[in-house]
Amino acid sequence: MTITLDAPRLVKTKALLSIRNVSKSYGSVAAVRDVSATAYPGEVLGIVGESGSGKSTLLRMMNLEEIPDCGDYTLDLPEVSGNLFELDRFERRMLCAKRIGIVYQNPHLGLLMDHTSSGNVAERLLVAGERRFGELRARAQEALAASEFPLDRLDDPPRDLSGGMQQRVQLAKAIALEPALLLLDEPTTGLDVSVQALVLDTLKRLQQERQITMVLVSHDLGVIRTLADRVMVMRRGQVVEAGLVDQIFQDPQHPYTQQLVHAKL
């Protein structure tokens, strides 16, 4: 018996996220210089780099919180077209609420600390127009269960929760509406190693179950290696190297990447 293999072919899938030639400077500081990135559906794109390399700024641009000086940004979604940086404030807010989820390193940025945890998740559904209390409650519970949050603490405010649990609430909030794009800004930094591993497990499982496209920013090469498919290395606002994770970590080309990989003990 012979095994017939498909001939090698080009991938024809359209990129879900494509950001082209963006630059942003704050006064004389150029935070991001002429950066382009693409992410395909179901893929995890890692962005790695030292502090101040512009990776978080780039992520904030993807969440439309920050508008660059130049460049454009498109998402391959039925409801939007054209350069997303040109949307007005209202359209931007609705797009972010409905299709983009974000998890910040600092839970204070993403959560209302004095409201209940389930309320934090429900807020997103409310912004998107859900007006049934029973439905809100059920979907908040479902999202919190999916991010492995202990449901007996459903109505505790995030300020009473541990760091790991706060990240889970953020994650539940981000996935509550089945977003097309999930942005993760150092989601595990500041957590101790065992909790970090648990949160990473949850992320990995969600990614496999739901095929969510993710962009993951981290300075931790271990996290990138565990989760990402492709990686971009950034330094001083520019991309110095990009490629598959194994390729970058096994055979780094750029001197900075080599340094980075070797520095990882």
Partner 1 sequence: MSLSSLTKPWQPMSYGFLDASAKREIRRKMLKAVAVPGCQMPYASREVPMARGWGTGGLQVSLTLINPKTCVKVIDQGADDSVNAASIRRFLADVSGAPTTLDTLQADLIQSRHRIPEEKLAAHQTLVLQVPNPEPLRSVQPNMSIARQMHADADYGRMWLQLYEQIVRSGRVMQGASYPAMVNGRHVMTPSPIPRWDVPKLHMAQHLTILSAGREKRIFAVPPFTRVEPLVFDDVPYKVEDHGDLTCNRSGARGFFMNEIPLPDGSSTHEISDSDYGVKTIRARDGETVEMGATWYNNGQMEDAQ
| Interface positions with partner 1 (CB under 8 A) | 89-90, 93, 112, 115-116, 118-119, 122-123, 126-127, 131-137, 155
| Strand partners of residue 75 | 17
Q: How far is the CB of 177 from partner 1 (least distance, A)?
A: 13
Q: Quick one: 36 or 116, whose CB is closer to partner 1? A: 116
Of 183, 75, 180, nearest to 83 by C-alpha is 75
Cβ contacts of 177 within 8 Å, gap of 6 or more: 97, 98, 99, 101, 124, 125, 128
Contact 199, 218 (CB under 8 A): no
Amino acid at 31: A
Reading the block at residue 110, the tokens are 């993403």
Reading the block at residue 264, the tokens are 């990882």
Q: How far is the CB of 154 from partner 1 (least distance, A)?
A: 9
Q: Quick one: 57 or 120, whose CB is closer to partner 1? A: 120
| Strand partners of residue 35 | 22
Q: How far is the CB of 142 from partner 1 (least distance, A)?
A: 16
Q: How far is the CB of 90 from partner 1 (least distance, A)?
A: 5
Coil, strand or helix at 257: helix
Q: Quick one: 24 or 124, whose CB is closer to partner 1? A: 124
Pairing type for strands 213-218 and 44-49 reads: parallel
Q: Quick one: 93 or 159, whose CB is closer to partner 1? A: 93
Q: How far is the CB of 30 from partner 1 (least distance, A)?
A: 30
Q: Quick one: 156 or 229, whose CB is closer to partner 1? A: 156
CA separation for the pair 109, 106 (Å, rounded): 6
Contact 141, 153 (CB under 8 A): no
Q: Quick one: 136 or 221, whose CB is closer to partner 1? A: 136
Q: How far is the CB of 127 from partner 1 (least distance, A)?
A: 4
